[in-house]
Amino acid sequence: MIIQGARRTLELRAQIHALDEAMADLAEQSEIARRLSTSPGFGRTSIAELAGEIGTLERFASEASLALYLEMCPLTRQSGQLCTARAPRQVNTRRKAAMMTTVARHIGCVVQSRVYYDRKRAEGKTHNQAICSLGRHLVRVVWPMLRDGRDYEIREDCHPLT
């Protein structure tokens, strides 16, 4: 039984590898995937998922609508003294997981992003809240990249995200 389990594990690894290669080939055909691949910390799987979810930029009126679609900004609800935030109703867990993973990996690659994340944590935000906040900033960077057909650039003269 152990030998059968080991064989099945090896078969599954081979299938996963084949799917990863097929996904990489498809991602090469996508302009969105090519632009996202220039961003530090964006892995092949996450790039393919995000490019597939975004589809075409014409679907979004602004970077704010893209951020809402990628679930990097909560919806606020205010009434009198009460102010709460909630997630959108149409939650796509794969889309959000891909973005959260990408942002978390981006922190390890870009010093300005690490400083911003650390500042949010020092303000009392949880890990996920700080990641979402940084993700919102990254959407502000990704939007013009995709809209104008530019690659990601790290400017050495810029201050950490404010």
Q: Which long-range contacts (CB under 8 A, 24 or more apart) does 59-64 make?
A: 62/143, 63/139, 63/140, 63/142, 63/143, 63/144
Instruction: Report residue 82 as tokens.
Output: 């009460």
Parent domain of 112:
2-148
Question: Would 155 be classed as within a structural domain?
Answer: no
Question: Would 44 be classed as within a structural domain?
Answer: yes
Question: Would 160 be classed as within a structural domain?
Answer: no
pLDDT of residue 95: 84
Q: List the chain pLDDT tens, one digit each, 162 residues.
A: 899 999 999 999 999 999 888 888 887 888 899 999 899 988 888 888 899 888 888 999 999 888 888 888 766 666 667 666 666 666 677 888 889 999 999 999 999 999 999 999 999 999 988 998 999 999 999 999 999 988 988 766 555 454
Question: Would 140 be classed as within a structural domain?
Answer: yes
Question: Would 161 be classed as within a structural domain?
Answer: no
Work out how many domains the chain is built from and give that number.
1
pLDDT of residue 77: 63
pTM for this entry: 0.74
Question: Would 101 be classed as within a structural domain?
Answer: yes
CB-based contacts of 123, cutoff 8 Å, min separation 6? none
pLDDT of residue 154: 75
Question: Would 135 be classed as within a structural domain?
Answer: yes
